[in-house]
Amino acid sequence: MRPASLRVPLYGVLWLFSLILLSLTIARLNYTLHLPAGDPLNHGADFYDPVVVELLVDSFLAFAFAPFVFNGLDRFLPINLSKAVIEVIALAVLWLLWLIGCGIATSIWPNLSFCYNFEACRVLAAMTAFAWLGWLTICALLVLGFIAVFSKRRDSDLATNDDMVQWARRMPVSPA
C-alpha cells in the first residue's frame, strides 16, 4: 500500500479530531468565561485556562491545514520545492504544538475520574483525549510523510507526481 493511500484517510481523521477538539475547547472557554453565580469553580469568578486557548489554536491550525494539503499547497509552492517536504515541515510544527498542548493539559488534569458526574469535567476529559488522538494521528502522518520524502519511488505524493526531493537527485553518488 502506497503512503498516499494511507495519508488521505488519516488527514480525514485529523480533520475530524480537530473539529471535535475545536468544539470542546470552545465549550470549555464558553463555560469558564461565563461562570454561573453560584459555581464553586474559581469561586464563581470568570477565567480561562491558557492551555485551552493553545489547544484551540492547535485544533484550528490542524483543521485548516488538512484540506489545504489536498488543494491549496501546489498553488503557493515554488517550482524547486517539493510538496512532501513542505508537508513534513508543517506536520512537524503541528506535532510540536499538539505535544505541548497535550502534555500541559495532561499535567493539569491527570485524572478526572472523581468528577465525571459534572459536565465541565467530562468536557475536560474528552478534550484531553481528543488532543492525544489528534497528536497520534499527526505522528502517523509525519511517519508517512518521511516515507514519502525519502522513498526511492518519488511518486508517492498525494495529488501529483512532482519528483519529490529534487535536490537529492542532483547530488553526486559517492562510490561505495
Residue 109 lies in a domain: yes
Q: Are 135 and 164 contacting, i.e. CB atoms less than 8 angstroms apart?
A: no
For 139-155, how does the pLDDT look when each residue is reduced to its tens digit (9 = 90+)?
Answer: 999 999 888 888 755 54
pLDDT for the residue 101:
97
pLDDT for the residue 72:
62
pLDDT for the residue 156:
45
Domain count, the chain: 1
Residue 173 lies in a domain: no
For 67-82, how does the pLDDT look when each residue is reduced to its tens digit (9 = 90+)?
Answer: 877 766 666 666 666 7
Q: Which residues, including other chains, have CB under 8 Å from residue 176's CB and lie 6 or more apart? A: none
Residue 97 lies in a domain: yes
At 19, list the grid cell.
Answer: 473539529
Regions in the chain scoring below 70 on pLDDT:
1-3, 71-81, 152-176
Residue 93 lies in a domain: yes
Domain of 138, in residue numbers: 3-164
State the DSSP string of the chain. --HHHHHHHHHHHHHHHHHHHHHHHHHHHHHHHS--TT--GGGG-----HHHHHHHHHHHHHHHHHHHHHTTTGGGS-TTS-HHHHHHHHHHHHHHHHHHHHHHHHHHSS--GGGTTSHHHHHHHHHHHHHHHHHHHHHHHHHHHHHHHH-SSTT-SSS----S-HHHHHSPPPP-
Residue 172 lies in a domain: no
Residue 170 lies in a domain: no
pLDDT for the residue 174:
59
Instruction: Please tell me the distance from the alpha carbon of residue 60 to that of residue 29, in angstroms, as a whole number.
Output: 14
pLDDT for the residue 168:
46
pTM score > 0.85 for this model? no
What is the chain's mean pLDDT, rounded?
Answer: 82
pLDDT for the residue 56:
97
Residue 175 lies in a domain: no
pLDDT for the residue 172:
58
